[in-house]
Each structure stands twice: as structure tokens, then as C-alpha cells.
Amino acid sequence: MSDLLSDLVSALRDGSLRIVDLTQPLGPDTPVIGLPPPYANSPGVSIENISRFDDDGPAWYWNVLSFGEHTGTHFDAPGHWITGRDLPRNTCDTIAPERFVGPACVIDVSTEVAANPDFLLTPDHIEQWEKEHGRIPAGAWVLLRTDWSHREGADAFLNVSDDGPHSPGFSPQASSLLALDRNITGVGVETVGTDAGQAGGFDPPFSNHSIMHGAGKLGLASLCNLDQLPANGAVVIAAPLKIVDGSGSPLRVLAIISTA
Ligand code: 23J
Ligand code: MN
């Protein structure tokens, strides 16, 4: 084995590197985004036994799964959005797998979000982060730590009022800076989608989806445990199911962090 890979394996074994699971459980209680009429909505998760050590299969247990592509901790491909629909290799089965692995930059706005659920990241916040931690590298996964994953139950998590959902996200200017000027791989958030709750009314509508996917960038939604990551220095692995022509997919998202 190469020195790099044998070092990786021994560091994971001796605990000098550790795996942090950034994934929420996927099940019938997983909250799903609600879009206003006239738009169609995605169903929740259903899990049905084929057999469970019974007449339908006395020695085996297995299930049939049903859910939308954009459910729970999930991946957004560029082809999910109209701005990305004509880009090359824009779906789950065609994106180059090298893109699934990259350095994580964790921007912690949990204090701001505790005071304002509609908080939006701006270019100023990004530049402030870069003064402390260095320039966001090309190919980074930029993870927005809001502690939104600490909210318990679907109602608190979706946070819907008469005027729509209220949850944090990116200003259009921040999405443009990250996608175009920093050439990141994509963004990851703790909320149900990569756009702020109120972003349906932004210019352009759902500005983060529109700008990121128009630039061929990826998205990760409903992450957790971002509070266990350093601002800089973790590596994220986020590989979707290889769904043919898939716009997105639930997935397991892992971070490798150094404990040294
Ligand atoms: C479809 C329309 C609007 C949004 C979304 C999907 C998502 O958040 C998603 O999961 O990609 S905002
Ligand atoms: Mn999605």
C-alpha cells in the first residue's frame, strides 16, 4: 500500500483521525420540505417489510423503501435546478466521483441564527472567516453551521408561519462569491434545503439553488454534527446513490477530522 494510504488507515485505527457522521437518521419521522400551491410536493419516507423472518422469508429480513430524492440528509445535483439542466455531467450518475471528496470550511453563524432564524450569510461574513482561517480553497465543501439540527421535531425544524418557512441560509451575493469567485465544490447546511426559508421570494427565487447549480456546484441539506468539526482542516466525503438521471439522493455524509 502507498505510504499515504497506510498512514490514513493507521491514523483511523489509532484514533489520531476520527470519523464524524454528519447524517440524520432516515425514517418515517424525517421532516420533508413543503412547497406552496400550485407546486407538487415530495412524499415522506415509507419503509415496508418484504419479509422479516416469517412466511415470506423465514431466514431473512429486507425492506422496500419509498421517498423523494430530496429527503433527509441529501445531495443536490446541478441538474436539480433549471439553471443547471444543460450542464455536462450534472446528475447523480454522471458527476465525477472526485468531486465527492474535499476539504471542509465550516462557517459558524450559530450565535447569529439563535437571535434571527432568517439570518443570511453575506460576503462580509465570508471575508471575516477568511481573515481568521485563510482563503476558502477551490474544491471546498463550505458548511454553514447554524445549530439548526439541534431543533427537535418537524414543526421546530421546518419553522413554518403564515408567511412561509423561516430558516437561515445564504444571501444571493454570498452564493455568487462562493460559486464563482471561490470555485467551491458545494455548500452544506443543517436546514431542510440549501436555501433560506424565505428564499422563494429572493431575486432570483431560491437564489442559492439557482446560483450554485447554475455554476455546476453541489448541495448538501439536513446535515448534523457540524459543531464537532474544526473551522478548517476536516475532509468531507459525500457520495450520492448512482441514480440514473437522478437530481439528488439521500446519502451518508462523513467527515474525517484530526484529533492530534
Ligand atoms: C424543490 C424546490 C425548492 C426547494 C427544494 C426543492 C429543496 O430545498 C431541495 O431539497 O432541493 S428549496
Ligand atoms: Mn435538495
d(CA 27, CA 36): 24
d(CA 152, CA 31): 11
Are residues 256 and 235 in contact, defined by beta-carbon separation less than 8 angstroms?
A: yes
d(CA 103, CA 231): 11
Is a pLDDT exceeding 90 seen at residue 260? Answer: no
What pLDDT digit, counting tens, does each position of 207-254 carry?
999 999 999 999 999 999 999 999 999 999 999 999 999 999 999 999
What is the pLDDT, as a whole number, of residue 204? Answer: 98
Instruction: Say which ligand is closest to the CA of 193.
Output: 1
d(CA 253, CA 242): 15
Is a pLDDT exceeding 90 seen at residue 1? Answer: no
What is the pLDDT, as a whole number, of residue 210? Answer: 99
Residue (of 231, 233, 227) closest to 22 by Cα position: 227
What is the pLDDT, as a whole number, of residue 26? Answer: 98
The whole-angstrom distance between residue 189's C-alpha and the CA centroid of its chain comes to: 5
Average pLDDT, the chain: 98
Ligand 1 centroid, distance to 193 Cα (angstroms): 6
Residues with CB under 6 A from ligand 1: 33, 35, 70, 76, 80, 193, 195, 206, 221
What is the pLDDT, as a whole number, of residue 199? Answer: 98
As a whole number, mean pLDDT of residues 180-204 equals 99
Is 80 one of the catalytic residues? yes
Catalytic residue among 80, 125, 209, 213: 80
What pLDDT digit, counting tens, does each position of 25-79 carry?
999 999 999 999 999 999 999 999 999 999 999 999 999 999 999 999 999 999 9
Ligand 2 centroid, distance to 63 Cα (angstroms): 24
What is the pLDDT, as a whole number, of residue 214? Answer: 99
Going by alpha carbons, the residue nearest to atom 5 of ligand 1 is: 193
Instruction: Say which ligand is closest to the CA of 33.
Output: 1
d(CA 110, CA 114): 6
What pLDDT digit, counting tens, does each position of 73-130 carry?
999 999 999 999 999 999 999 999 999 999 999 999 999 999 999 999 999 999 999 9
d(CA 142, CA 178): 8
